[in-house]
Chain A
Amino acid sequence: MSDSLHDVVVIGGGMSGLTASIYLAGKGFKTALISRGDPVCCLSTGCIDVMAAGEGPLEAIADLPGGHPYRLVGRKGIEDALKLFKDTMAGSPVPYVGTPRRNREILTPIGTFKTTCLVPRTMEASQGCRDDYLHVISFSGIRDFYPSYITSKLPNTGFSLYDAGVSSTLAIATRFEEPGFVDDFCSWLSGIEIPPGRVALPAVLGLRKPVALMEDISGRIGRDVFEIPTLPPSIPGLRLFQALKGSFQEKGGYVFWGKAISSVEIRGNMVEAVTLAASGRPSRVQGRAFILATGSFVSGGLFATRDAVKETVFDLNVEIPGPRNDWFWNDFFTPGHPIEGSGIEVDSSFRPLGSGLENLFVCGSILARSDIMKNHCGHGLALATGLKAAKMCERMLT
């Protein structure tokens, strides 16, 4: 068995775990990040939703119930986390725009608008697009994007199809990174009669330098161009994840990727180590402090049995909203099914309540009462609680 010792071991490579890891590695702590696989942010729009209600997301936080994780972080903490995020992304191929003082809107693939807060530069021109003529460019045979959903819903729109020779978003994104493809694409695009206005396309502008590509296209056709997020696999989600993971590794962080935890060692009120399952050679990862950022059900941090919900690494107590019949509303479209409120309760230092463990901190969507779908606060909550848990951890270690 291989054995390693770290200051902090972060369990979970999603938005909250990455945020905590980046902060701690930046502060010089020897940080290990364990992840079972690529996180669910790869399936997201790539935008940072903070709170959908109200004009400014920070004001809306005051209306949340007292136990909501945002209330434990506080307004300043949220602003700090969003700033850390923007600064981190500023050095990546996809800088983000927007301010926590004011929400913005992006166009969805079915022609609705979605409120969000920070967006990748490639979606900046989505804001206000309903005031202009909008021309949607799609690709022949693309499986996860159908422009007619948009053009039927919004007046003053039209669409054209380009044949990229492939049909998945990921394959088209790869085509955009091949030499000559953009030239062909742009010469085709310049040849279409399009009324004055903006041009949008599904989010397929490659993984490596999407902003440069967008500016190139925009410059050649003399119009604002923006991306529309697609259903998974999501290219903006992948870019976001790769940028954050890259930033952590640049800061000297160590990653254990594709590894599941098979056992944990606890002595007294301290977590001492976790063991990672691997065929042949398991690894034991010791830490002075641990951060649990394994996410909710989709990520596998929580698992529901027929009548209970389990936390999958430490078997911590999980709050649930009553018997199974109460977990979901009868109406699918009513946001905030009660099961979303289930999770781990923490104290003001983000340690799990009732566990007695002193060196374990919890962040992200595994936290109880987060009600992410109801509030549209997923990534924002991950950033805010990730940073907060990291700071609590820092305080303990210094």
Chain B
Amino acid sequence: MSIKTDVIIIGGGATGCGIARDLALRGVPHYLVEKGDFASGATGACHGLLHSGGRYVVKDSESARECISENAILRRIARKCVETTGGLFIRLPGDSKRYRDEFLASCDEIGIETEVLSPSKALDLVPGLNPALEEAISVPDCSIDPFRLCMLNAYTSRHRGGGILTHHEVVEIIQEKGQCVGIKARERLTSQIKEIRGRVIINAAGAWGDKIARLGGTSVPMSLSKGSLIVTNHRLTNMVINRLRPPSDGDIIVPNEAVCLAGTTSIPVSDPDMLEIDPAEVDIVATQAEQMVPGFGSTRLIRAYTGVRPLLMAPVQNGDGRSISRGFQIIEHGNGMFSILGGKLTTYRLMAEKTVDVVMTHFGLKAACRTAELPLEGQDELSGYPLSKRLSSMDDIVCECELVTRQSVEHAVNAMATQYVGDIQHRTRLGMGPCQGGFCTYRALGIMQELGRVSPEVSISVLKEFLQRRFKGIRPALWGDQLREEQLIESLYLGILNMGSKP
């Protein structure tokens, strides 16, 4: 028994979800398959920056143009996902003045609105900045919630007949007479196989793009580069802070909900499934961030994470992923598969539009793209849990760090019928605070058991998997109070619950 549709989308990141929304608005039946939860690849592991284009303006004017145009569109259509923080590029003593002049000239040329601010004006806006700064240039950078963005794009698809399967890994691409005609996907926990047949397959698997292409008997030229980031336990700036110099390690700080993210590094990798964060990367990013915002040095880091930039292979490489174009490309493989490669979160909508245009031409259909004009649907329903709402009921707090109540956990569990505690965490912010789910994950799984959504046997293995994944993110940034917290969590799980392996 197989599901039949027109377009199969592989990948539930921003691009895949954006394509699903676009297809839905143009009335094309489709099915999206994702091996984890939404945004579990590069989308969820980026710094959540809605680029103004300033970062690319000097070296890659094409990308910068796309960014500033999409920036304006997303601020309009995705109001509940975007925090219009504004951004600053700050020049510290020793940073090149020539780069600054080029930067301003290029911004003017492309149409990125800038204002040159004196140090005192900049400090007025962001008191935590390094007081030694020479000047700051403001740009319309914003902070964006990548996870909610995916959910909202998927929402439109779901409400217009699209199918969405998360936690299903594509294990086979069915080929008949040299054409890709469908996929087989395996559910992560149960290993159950589902078959979906379609007329076209879109490979939007990001860093996994080549792995998917190979299942379809072809390949795509990619260059993978990992970027690592760190998360502080509170906001040290209300604006995005960039370093005014050519792109380099540790040149950006982005405020996001209750925390700040600082990044990034850029190290070539070969396999997106084998990622480790080196403590030295954490040190580099923390040290660089401290130069821009001195408070970073003494702030508690709650974890580090790393994502893989799915970049297009450039003809000549110098080993640094940053010099490779952030542009994107659509490859028509001629066997029913289309791959969308490269790009970045900020331009996801444009990438989706161009991809769907190609598919429409392939089908011989005509319907214009409407994703830029219509606001994302469901924004009020899925606007997350604003603090004001969270504080309205303090009776039954399950996650003390993020003030998530039992009621909201139950609501999320019931609404999604999910077996995955990560799904609950992404949707409620449960476990996102300083203890990183150390206390509340056990509770969330207990509640899922009570609601009959997960069997207790499964929940122990889910709990173990969660603890290991959590530890992987925390380990490279373990010192100070976070190390203290970690030792406490260890004493709960390895001590009180005796879950340690035997020595």
A-to-B contact residues, CB < 8 Å: 40, 43-45, 108-110, 112-114, 141, 143-146, 148-149, 151-153, 167, 229, 231-232, 234, 296-298, 300, 303-306, 324-325, 327-328, 330-337, 339, 373-374, 376, 378
- At the interface, yes or no: B487 with Cβ under 8 Å from chain A? yes
Q: What per-residue 1/0 map shows which CB atoms of B145-183 lie under 8 Å from chain A?
A: 000000000000000000000000000000000000000
In the bound complex, what is the Cα–Cα distance between A43 and B439 (angstroms)?
12
Contact A305 B484 (CB under 8 A): no
Report the separation of the CA atoms of residues A395 and B500 in the bound assembly, to the nearest whole angstrom.
40
> Nearest 8 pairs between A and B by C-beta?
A146-B446, A152-B456, A332-B471, A335-B500, A114-B498, A304-B479, A148-B449, A148-B456
Does A298 contact B484, Cβ atoms closer than 8 Å?
yes
Q: Which of B118-126, B382-390, B460-468 contacts A (4 or more CB under 8 A)?
A: B460-468
| A-B contacts besides A143-B406, A146-B443, A332-B490, 15 pairs, CB < 8 Å | A44-B491, A109-B496, A143-B396, A149-B456, A152-B455, A152-B456, A152-B457, A234-B496, A297-B483, A300-B484, A324-B478, A325-B280, A331-B468, A332-B493, A333-B494
Min C-beta distance of A301 to chain B, whole Å: 11
B279 touching A332, Cβ below 8 Å = no
Please, how many angstroms separate the alpha-carbon atoms of A272 and B278 in the complex?
Answer: 45
Q: Is B347 an interface residue (CB 8 A)?
A: no
Contact with A along B222-247 (1 / 0, CB 8 A): 00000000000000000000000000
One of B471, B484, B501 near A297 (C-beta < 8 A): B484
Whether A110 lies near B497 (C-beta < 8 A) is yes
**Which residues of B have CB within 8 Å of A43?**
488, 491-492
State how many angstroms separate the Cβ of A167 from the closest Cβ of chain B. Answer: 6
A118: shortest Cβ distance to chain B, in Å? 16
Interface of A: prevailing SS: loop
Given A152-B457, A298-B488, A306 contacting B494 (CB threshold 8 A): no
Task: Tell me the minimal C-beta distance from B122 to chain A in angstroms.
Answer: 28
With A110-B460, A141-B396, A141-B406 known as contacts, the answer to whether A335 contacts B501 (CB < 8 A) is: yes
Rounded to whole Å, the gap between the CB of B59 and the closest CB of chain A is 33
**B503 is an interface residue with CB less than 8 A from chain A:** yes
CB-CB contacts of B279-300 with A at 8 A, as 1s and 0s? 1100100100000000000000
Chain A residues near B257 (CB-CB < 8 A): none
Q: 1/0 per position for B431-467, CB-CB distance to A under 8 A?
A: 0000000010011011101100001110110001001
The answer to whether A231 touches B492 (Cβ under 8 A) is yes
Question: Which residues of chain B are near A167, meaning CB under 8 Å?
Answer: 396
Residues of chain A with a CB closer than 8 A to B445's CB: 146
Question: Is A146 a contact partner of B450 (Cβ separation < 8 A)?
Answer: yes
Residues of chain A contacted by B455 (CB below 8 angstroms): 152
Check if A333 sits within 8 Å of B480, measured CB to CB: no
Say yes or no: A45-B496 contact (C-beta < 8 A), given A141-B396, A373-B491. Answer: yes
Residues of A within 8 A of B439 (CB): 231
Chain A residues positioned under 8 Å from B279 (CB to CB): 324-325
Cα A151 to Cα B494 in complex, Å, equals 20
Q: Are the C-beta atoms of B449 and A334 separated by less than 8 Å?
A: no
Q: Which residues of A contact B495 (CB under 8 A)?
A: 44-45, 373, 376, 378
Q: Is B275 an interface residue (CB 8 A)?
A: no
In the assembled complex, the Cα of A298 lies from the Cα of B481 at a distance in Å of: 9
Taken together as a complex, chains A and B put the C-alpha atoms of A298 and B492 apart, in Å, by: 12
Q: Which residues of A contact B496 (CB under 8 A)?
A: 44-45, 108-109, 114, 229, 231, 234
Contacts of A300 in B (CB 8 A): 484
| Known pairs A141-B396, A143-B398, A304-B480; A153 contacts B456 (CB<8 A) | yes
Q: Which residues on the B side are within 8 Å of A40 (C-beta)?
A: 488, 491
Is B417 in contact with chain A by the CB < 8 A criterion? Answer: no
Question: Is B499 an interface residue, CB under 8 A from the partner?
Answer: yes
Q: Which residues of B contact A305 (CB under 8 A)?
A: 479-480
CA distance A40 to B456 in the complex (A): 29
Interface status of B475 (Cβ within 8 A of chain A): yes
Can you give 12 A-B contacts (C-beta < 8 A)?
A45-B495, A110-B460, A148-B456, A153-B456, A231-B492, A296-B487, A298-B484, A304-B478, A333-B468, A333-B494, A336-B503, A339-B487
Chain B residues positioned under 8 Å from A152 (CB to CB): 455-457
Give A333's nearest chain B residue, CB to CB. B501
**If the complex has contacts A297-B487, A336-B503, are A373 and B494 also in contact, measured as CB distance less than 8 A?**
yes
Q: Which residues of B contact A306 (CB under 8 A)?
A: 283, 286, 479
Chain A residue nearest to B484 in the complex (CB): A297
Collect the chain A residues with CB atoms within 8 Å of residue B483's CB. 297, 304, 339
Is A108 touching B449 in the complex (CB atoms < 8 A)? no
Complex Cα spacing A234 to B488, Å? 13
Contact of A151 among B278, B443, B456, B479 (CB under 8 A): B456
A141–B406 Cα gap in the complex (Å)?
9
> In the assembled complex, which residues on chain A have CB atoms less than 8 Å from the CB atom of B443?
143-144, 146
A334 near B500 (CB under 8 angstroms)? yes
**Nearest B residue to A140 by beta-carbon distance?**
B450
User: Once the chains are docked, how many angstroms separate the CA of A297 from the CA of B457?
Assistant: 33
In angstroms, Cα B497 to Cα A234, docked, is 13
Asked if residues A112 and B501 are in contact (CB atoms below 8 Å), the reply is no
Residues of chain A within 8 A (CB-CB) of B446 are 145-146, 148-149
> Which of B396, B470, B478 contacts A328 (CB under 8 A)?
B478
CB distance from B144 to the nearest CB of A (A): 31
Task: For the complex formed, measure the closest distance between the CB of A368 and the CB atoms of chain B, giving whole angstroms.
Answer: 16
* A303/B480 contact (C-beta < 8 A), A151-B456, A330-B475, A333-B500 known: yes
Residues on the B chain within 8 Å of A44, using CB:
491, 495-496
Q: Cα distance A339–B487 when bound, in Å?
A: 10
